[in-house]
A and B are shown apart, each in its own frame.
Chain A
Amino acid sequence: MSLASVMAPVPVPTPSPGRVAPPVPRADPSPALREEPRVAKMVVEDLSAWYGRRKVLHGVSLPFVKDAVTAIIGPSGCGKSTLIRCLNRMHEIQPGAAQSGRVLLDGRDIHGGHLDPIELRRRVGMVFQKPNPFPTMSVRDNVLAGWRLTGTRPKDPDAVVEDALRRAALWVEVKDRLKAPGGSLSGGQAQRLCIARALAVAPEVLLMDEPCSALDPIATARIEELIHELAPTVTIVIVTHNMQQAARVSAYTAFLYMGELVEFAETAGLFTRPADPRTEDYITGRFG
């Protein structure tokens, strides 16, 4: 799989020394692409997070480039999941959870009061580690759950269902059993149903928290393919403990270690020329 296809829609920025610097990936600037500047869909600035007294993130700063895939890797317990849960304010709903720093969506602080968290979560969708379709709803209702739960309905529900299921590469498999209960699908199908459910409300960002860790290799390959297909239209942030997966699906990779951002770079660069010795240790399998 060529990384170029992933990289294509993402022009390269000029680093700015003045800002509270989100580390900027290095790449060779090509004059042709400079006209279309790269855009950060989301940015975290100096983000720290706690569970009770335990500090799990230490001042992380990081951009998430619009309509590209960013992978977050690191050994378990490094704060990967906490980081993405801060992006849609799911972190704070847990008892004892706290955070400091800023998270920007389209340049505006998501805690800024202009955006209700329930609106935010509609714009920033999420897929979880374990497939969690709603067992009491049909496949169709699962796709529409984002609408149903919030008491709204799309203009053309059938079109929304078909579109979301097609984008989640599940349509062909389930189009004849949309009425079947959501719990009747296999693990890989259930996870794609969860992706379809997240896509059905047209999110701008899709967070994926180790979406393949509970799946077999074939289902995993299916989901990775799907991520490629989605990337041009949705900003994707994927947490994974699997470095090969990060290398396969992402344009950018952030390496988190013990709650700190060790390195953030274009994926190709990070895996071939890691700047930090800890990154090198990790990707060469010396720990983790």
Chain B
Amino acid sequence: MDAWLYPPPPQRTVSPRLRWRRLADRLFRGAVVASVVVVLAPLAAVLATVIAKGAPALDLAFLTHLPKPVGETGGGVGHAILGTLFLALGGLGIAVPVGVPAGVFLASDRMPRLAGVVRMCADVLAGVPSIVVGLFAYTLLVMPFRQFSALSGAFALAVIMLPTIVRTTEEVVRLVPPTLTEAALALGAPRWRAMLGVVLPSAGKGVAAGIIAAFSRGAGETAPLMFTAFGSQFLSWNLLQPIAALPLVLFNYAVSPYEDWHAQAWAAALVLVVLVLVANLVARYATARRSA
């Protein structure tokens, strides 16, 4: 006799209800997978088009030469590439000295109420339309001088970059174990020395990643430069003169009626995409390594 008597198994009935629930589940998963595919399709399409249309027009001359007048073939965007680097680095030059200490302040948890306000301001600033930022830089730095300028463009980009730098810095400084600060303080170091000598260096990679991400964001911006840096046909290093920028050239060429300018717009797009995505991926790589 079997010691473990089992009651007769209940009759298996596959209820239509259960079948429907399983079907709904499968449909839902299918829809969710499909939505990712649909979302990523434009990424593939945009990148493929930019490469396909941009690569043929891309050569050394394009990267280094100045533009030629309409009608003449050839010419490049060397001035705009340098201009974009100049503007973006200039923007960092303004944004980093404010953004990094502000991020450290948010992470320090002293004066939590003020920190809450500042954090909210940084978040809201990130959502301010870039065209409005351009307008702000215009009224502040263009109107008084009656002159479009590289300075006003760099300032506009700095405003765009600021929230990214602040929030990334806060995040990575928070990841530094407090024991590290306490160890430094216990050795008699003043708080500022503990911060500069111990906390910031150990969060350094993350802060750098935030700065590179901000660079990536700023380098691709067009709207804030339209009435600040304005654009130029020449190479100029004068802070108080208009300066060319890759996104501006791209925009002006794209909306122009000339076929060869369209081709150049695609080549400029390829350069811009590479610049922006490489910076973005470098920033991402640095953060991924840090958290790993």
Which A residues fall within an 8 A CB radius of B? 13-16, 19, 22, 24, 37-40, 43, 63, 104, 106-108, 114-116, 118-119, 150-152
Contact = CB atoms under 8 A, between A and B. Distances in A.
Contacts of B9: 106-108, 114
A39 B18 CA distance: 29
Contacts of B6: 39-40, 104, 106-107
B250 to A, nearest CB: 44
Contact of A14 (B1, B12, B21, B22): B1
A37 B10 CA distance: 20
Interface string B19-35: 00110000000000000
Contact of A22 (B1, B4, B5, B17): B4
B7 interface: yes
B2 interface: yes
B44 interface: no
5 contacts: A15-B3, A39-B5, A63-B4, A116-B22, A151-B21
A16 B4 CA distance: 9
A190 B278 CA distance: 51
B12 A114 contact: yes
A14 B7 contact: no
8 closest A-B pairs by CB: A107-B6, A16-B3, A13-B3, A40-B4, A114-B12, A108-B9, A37-B5, A106-B9
Interface of B: 1-7, 9-10, 12, 17-18, 21-22
A39 B4 CA distance: 6
Given A118-B21, A152-B17, A106 B4 contact: no
Given A114-B12, A119-B18, A150-B21, A16 B7 contact: no
A151 B19 CA distance: 13
B252 to A, nearest CB: 51
Nearest to A119: B18
Given A150-B21, A151-B21, A106 B7 contact: yes
Contacts of B1: 14, 16
A24 B2 CA distance: 12
Nearest to A22: B4
A19 B3 contact: yes
A40 B4 CA distance: 6
A43 B9 CA distance: 14
Contacts of B7: 39, 106-107
B27 to A, nearest CB: 14
